[in-house]
A = this chain, B = another copy of it.
Amino acid sequence: MSTFFYGGDYNPDQWSDEIVDLDLELFKKANINIVTLPVFSWAKFQSSDTEYHFEWFDKIINKITASGLNICMATSTAVQPAWMSHKYPEILPVDFEGRKRAFGGRVKFCPNSEIYREFASKLVTKLVERYGNNKNIKLWHVGNEYDNWCYCPKCQSEFRNWLKEKYSTLDELNRVWYTSFWGHTFYSWDEIVAPSGLSEMWNDNGRVRTNFQSISLDYARFMSDSILDCYKLEYKIIKDRFPQIPVTTNFMGFFKPLNYFKWAEFIDVISWDSYPGVGEPYFLTSMRHDLMRSLKKDRPFLLMEQTPSQTNWAPYNSCKRPGDLKLQSFQAIAHGSDSVMFFQLRRSVGACEKLHSGVIDHVGHGETRVFRECTELGDVLNKLGSQITGSIMENKTAIIFDWENWWALEYSSGPSTELFYLNEIEKYYNALHKTGAGIDFVTPDSDLSQYSLVVAPCLYLISNRNGRNIETYVKNGGKFVTSFMSGVVNETDLAYLGGYPGPLSNVLGIWVEEFDSLPKGKFNTGIPTSSFLDREYKCEMVFDIIHTLNAQSLAIYGNDYYKDLPVITKNIFGSGDAYYIGSSFEQDGIDSIIRKLSPGSDLNIEVFGNVETTLRKNSMDKLLFLLNHDECKNKIDLKNNQFQNLQTLEKHSGQLELNAKDVMVLRLLNE
């Protein structure tokens, strides 16, 4: 592919032939080159156990093929037909509170339903057979935004099988689940029930809590695996016949229910749906792109969905302001996307998404602001595609992000209800991002050797094996940073004996005796005891009481009974060094710490204001992306570097100006 995919979700089955013809004209006008379909057509394809109907879609796909559009071929398995739900109620899930669902919504099927799996497989087989040879199909799109944890009897029975497979014996399960606590010893697999609102868990003002972290953690793994199995079933059917066509499913960024790192193994190209929140800082969108890209670092990802303007499901659905569309589209590209795709190409007339914007609006013509911006963007993408697509990122800093740690940390009971993994990840990402560093996300067992800095906020759950992985990284010269509440439990959520931070004790050279916690609004401070920290900063929520063994103290607490005890430590270990940040510092404090440690951008350039820079590389070129997120002009100092503007072909060095919300892509000439 030497062009960006530009297009998105299209539902021609909702429209008359005349309107579809008009749409195809408008797509051409807007430089659109790909349509995703049919995402939700199972019910139209199949009307009973044995009756299938494809003629209506033949017509549509022929028309689309004739118009020269690429096709992102969806499998339509995200919503099972109503008749199927009616005839086979087992397909309907049971929710966390124990309620059996009736037919409705989407992605509302039990992932372990045999009926679902059988019918989904049959449908996908038929789609592959009938349409697989269509040359315009450039991508298969399995399901849609998978999200369907279930607590039905079938899931409970499959959970028991999954546990048998994992633990072999009940003795081992009783040990790992720590069932001697509260007398929960199991004598038969049949006694095990799913952890839910009816058994071990409860919803505490939006935070889901549990009595038994190990059980809930295993159910999270099991559910992520069960749903992945649904995906893999379809994946295999497609790959068996058309191994050369990439297969994907659309992810949702930091989506807690599914361990996307585990899923990524079975995804040929990562794709995801980006919906920045109204008023959110832009670095959060960059962070999500970086996570998605990092799932498969050796290749670009795809922006599968974004909205042309407003969404419909948020509390407040603002229109995208003029320029936002281009800026956010290039933000995706700057972080590694080879596509810009929309939900939805034409705005539907009924149901909830009729108030969600589309490239073509209800008014039905191209004379709208949104359509014009889409057209202009398509034109730019058209021109730049061959020079950018295929390039990747090679970064020197990484953040360890682990879904299992996310689950375990937030299932933990104590020390603070304010402790959210993503908040801590965001703070460190924000600080790194400000230094201009390109950032990968990695897992605790990733090969870390390419990085000069690895940051692992709140690495609460960590195996001994992963502890050794980090030790090796530091011994060989790496810089490692972790923060409070790290090294507390092993991979089955059992606490390490012998002192925290468990398997990280050696590399960090410390012992954490207590984790104090204070209510929201109460603070301590970190006071520098070396040049490492430039001034005193506030810290809050959790306060580790640290004893240095081999480490040195870089900053100490300013208050409370642990006043003067270390809050930031550094341990020289082999050729590297390891830092421990014992509390949740205010953003400025984390910025100060990270500035000392980050390698920054690969290029010696300087930016002013909220200008974001990233680098994509291919075998030939280094491409510098400049994105001005401010509402005013900003300066960039390219210094002695020589660049060529991909669009204007102009050459640049030294000082440069970038308009409000504008974007520039520069090829590095010297080096």
Contacts and interface: CB of A to CB of B under 8 A. Distances in A.
Interface of A: 11, 13-14, 40-44, 47-48, 76, 78-79, 81-83, 85-86, 97-106, 176-188, 190-201, 210-214, 278-279, 309-319, 321-322, 347-356, 361-364, 368-370, 412-418, 489, 493-500, 511, 513-520, 560-561
From A104, A194, A196, A363, residue with most partner B Cβ within 10 Å: A104
Contact of A210 (B193, B315, B352, B369): B352
B319 A211 contact: no
Given A183-B81, A350-B493, A351-B213, A519 B315 contact: yes
A215 to B, nearest CB: 9
Kindly list the 3 A-B residue pairs having the minimum CB-CB distance in the complex, ordered from nearest: A178-B350, A104-B199, A312-B414
Given A99-B198, A181-B348, 18 more contacts: A11-B181, A14-B178, A47-B187, A86-B190, A98-B102, A100-B198, A103-B191, A103-B193, A104-B195, A106-B211, A211-B352, A213-B354, A310-B517, A312-B415, A319-B515, A363-B511, A364-B498, A368-B514
Contacts of A182: 40, 79, 105-106, 351
Nearest to A178: B350
A183 B511 contact: no
12 contacts: A41-B183, A48-B187, A100-B198, A101-B199, A176-B350, A210-B352, A213-B350, A309-B514, A315-B416, A362-B498, A363-B499, A369-B514
Contacts of A105: 182, 199-200, 211
A582 to B, nearest CB: 14
B517 A81 contact: no
Nearest to A200: B104
Contact of A198 (B101, B195, B362, B516): B101
B181 A351 contact: yes
Contacts of A78: 183
A44 B643 CA distance: 73
A520 B316 contact: yes
B349 A495 contact: yes
Contacts of A350: 176-178, 181, 212-214, 493-495
Contacts of A353: 181, 413
Contact of A212 (B41, B279, B351, B362): B351
Contacts of A279: 519
A584 to B, nearest CB: 13
Q: State the copy count for this chain.
A: 3
B364 A413 contact: no
A571 to B, nearest CB: 19
Contacts of A83: 186-188, 191
Nearest to A151: B102
Nearest to A79: B183
Contacts of A349: 178, 494-495, 497
Nearest to A196: B102
Given A14-B180, A310-B414, A316 B86 contact: no
Contacts of A43: 179, 183-185, 187
A321 B211 contact: no
Given A193-B102, A211-B104, A415-B316, A82 B362 contact: no
A319 B516 contact: yes
Nearest to A416: B316
Nearest to A190: B86
Contacts of A309: 514
A315 B81 CA distance: 44
A415 B311 CA distance: 8
Contacts of A198: 99-102, 104
Contacts of A97: 99
Contacts of A354: 213, 489, 494-495
Contacts of A11: 180-181
B187 A351 contact: no
Contact of A414 (B210, B356, B514): B356
Contact of A518 (B190, B318, B363): B318
Nearest to A13: B180
Given A47-B187, A76-B183, A85-B191, A496 B362 contact: yes
A630 to B, nearest CB: 16
A105 B517 CA distance: 25
Given A97-B99, A322-B561, A518 B316 contact: yes
Contact of A561 (B200, B212, B213, B321): B321
Contacts of A517: 310, 316-319
Contacts of A192: 82
A413 B312 contact: yes
A14 B185 CA distance: 12
A412 B353 CA distance: 9
Given A79-B183, A185-B44, A178 B363 contact: no
